[in-house]
Structure 1
């Protein structure tokens, strides 16, 4: 069985969460194969306990940041203008490829481009998020009004997901979504061993 994962490249957190989901599914479904479609570097997934094919895809830039706290709104708008509205020819091409590979499901970690692909491919789609870009762009639109336009483009796609999962902590709760606790990979090292490797006293609070 094959599952396509469309993953936001805005930092590594979305890739880490998507990998956790992929590992959990792999423990339940024998011989599960993933197609990872993302601009996150391929090396990030090399330690994952999953079978996958990596496909570079720049489909979810999010926001351009100058540091962890500051956003370059103008450069972010340039990126969004390049990608939105999504290229329909590209969507159809990827949908065709997923069908040829007998993909059965599309999972998106906030990258709603995958929902558009799933609709064309006639595949069920799952959106996993604790925030969505339309919510972010609307909040920032008083500072750069064109961001409201991009929010209007993305919002309808969000509502088209067949299953919408929100992971806590949720920025904008949706009563129609399934809310779950935070998602992370299973620890591979016991707590005492991790503390010892980091030089942290066993009783020290962090």
Structure 2
């Protein structure tokens, strides 16, 4: 019997949803595996099973985002300072040690907190594995550049502290779309990195139902079922800098799925708790951010992605590189996004996209303005298609091998 404690960042849903896919694979791999999930993320995101239990516990410090594409660096460091101080108290150490004892933990998995919630695991001989495409030391390291140079001393010390904490992991299972892990480069030798860093294949959440079922469940009239679908994952109705609401401009033959009501007969609302991979599978184009969940699902289901670059998010370059190498994508500016304008400029991105690697699924021409839909559709339709598998079962096997590795 393997008893896993899975510590998952509560920052956003991305860590939780990809971890949920891996939890399902771990349960399927062995009928005796038990998983305790320690997180502040909602439990409904995870598999419902008698072999899965939950402990509501903060495992890291949140990144403060006043908008979907900006970070408040001073506030994020202030929160990190408070959180790290709380983890040094006897109460915290006793509570986290009790969790390990009560669950009879054999293995720690984490996505992607620095190890402060299981500090006694190493003393007990429990292996720990980071499963992620990035670590938060890289996130905070970049946020240092958004602080005044003369006032970075204390913040640099915090970054160095979490680097040292990360270095105590036994292994990294590195997900696609990764960026460098500063702690591994700094504290692990070349030989250690070769042994302790394992590259994983793509993990993404597959759809559970068909496109036609999704459209029916959303109450979309049948006359729209042959239309192409834009899925807005930023939250539907957009509020610009003046506080005015705008919506994406749709060309003929398109409908839009959004999370908030829009007074347009071609816009349809989906519920907040919807299983979002079903929406991705039902769409042709996703308008969203460069996050692991969005990128992995777009690549895995062969959907085009129109995105807004978020310079403050250090993990984006790795994911964007992966999306460009394995999918179809185009950038719009924040100004165009806030105005609802999907401009012609993204046609160039699609037309210059290499055709060697694409994935089987519905054709996904990018929505790049009413006059350029057909051009983008033609560019995408010329590509060869090969299958891509959802590989969480193989990642579960890789993790199982680490448990018995000497």
Question: What is the TM-score normalised by the length of structure 1?
Answer: 0.85
Aligned to 2:60: 60
- Structure 1 residues 124-162: Cα deviation after superposition (integer angstroms, max 9, x where no partner): 111011111111111121222243222111111222111
Aligned to 1:87: 88
Report the alpha carbon displacement of residue 96 of structure 1 after superposing the two structures with TM.
Answer: 3.2
Q: For the structure 1 residues 58 and 100, does the alpha-carbon distance in structure 2 shift closer, same or farther, using more than 3 Å as the test?
A: closer
- More deviation in 119-128 or 130-139? 119-128
Q: For the structure 1 residues 92 and 184, does the alpha-carbon distance in structure 2 shift closer, same or farther, using more than 3 Å as the test?
A: farther
Aligned to 2:202: 182
Report the alpha carbon displacement of residue 33 of structure 1 after superposing the two structures with TM.
Answer: 2.0
Q: Using the alignment, how far apart are the partners of 1:123 and 1:88 within structure 2? A: 22
Report the alpha carbon displacement of residue 197 of structure 1 after superposing the two structures with TM.
Answer: 5.9
Q: For the structure 1 residues 170 and 93, does the alpha-carbon distance in structure 2 shift closer, same or farther, using more than 3 Å as the test?
A: same
Secondary structure class of the residue paired with 1:169 = coil
Question: What is the TM-score normalised by the length of structure 2?
Answer: 0.46
Preserved CA contact (<8 Å) 2:8 2:113:
yes
Report the alpha carbon displacement of residue 186 of structure 1 after superposing the two structures with TM.
Answer: 4.3
Q: Using the alignment, how far apart are the partners of 1:191 and 1:178 within structure 2? A: 35
The 5-angstrom pairing of residues 98-137 of structure 1 reads 98-112=100-114, 113-114=116-117, 116-137=119-140
Aligned to 1:149: 157
Structure 1, gaps ≥5 residues long: none
Report the alpha carbon displacement of residue 93 of structure 1 after superposing the two structures with TM.
Answer: 2.9
Aligned to 2:99: 97
Preserved CA contact (<8 Å) 2:20 2:45:
no
Report the alpha carbon displacement of residue 40 of structure 1 after superposing the two structures with TM.
Answer: 1.0
Aligned to 1:171: 179
Q: For the structure 1 residues 102 and 123, does the alpha-carbon distance in structure 2 shift closer, same or farther, using more than 3 Å as the test?
A: same
Structure 2, gaps ≥5 residues long: 185-189, 219-224, 229-281, 283-361, 366-406
Secondary structure class of the residue paired with 2:121 = helix
Preserved CA contact (<8 Å) 2:137 2:159:
yes
- Structure 1 residues 17-75: Cα deviation after superposition (integer angstroms, max 9, x where no partner): 11111111100110322111111123333xx2543221111121241111111111122
1:205 aligns with 2:358: no
Number of residue pairs the alignment of both structures matches: 204
Preserved CA contact (<8 Å) 2:96 2:117:
no
Q: For the structure 1 residues 121 and 95, does the alpha-carbon distance in structure 2 shift closer, same or farther, using more than 3 Å as the test?
A: farther
1:77 aligns with 2:77: yes
Q: Using the alignment, how far apart are the partners of 1:204 and 1:193 within structure 2? A: 19
Aligned to 1:30: 31
The structure with more radius of gyration: 2
Higher relative contact order (CA 8 A, sep 6+): 1
* Greater than 4 Å deviation, 4+ residue runs: 190-204
Q: Using the alignment, how far apart are the partners of 1:83 and 1:187 within structure 2? A: 37
RMSD value over aligned CA atoms?
2.6
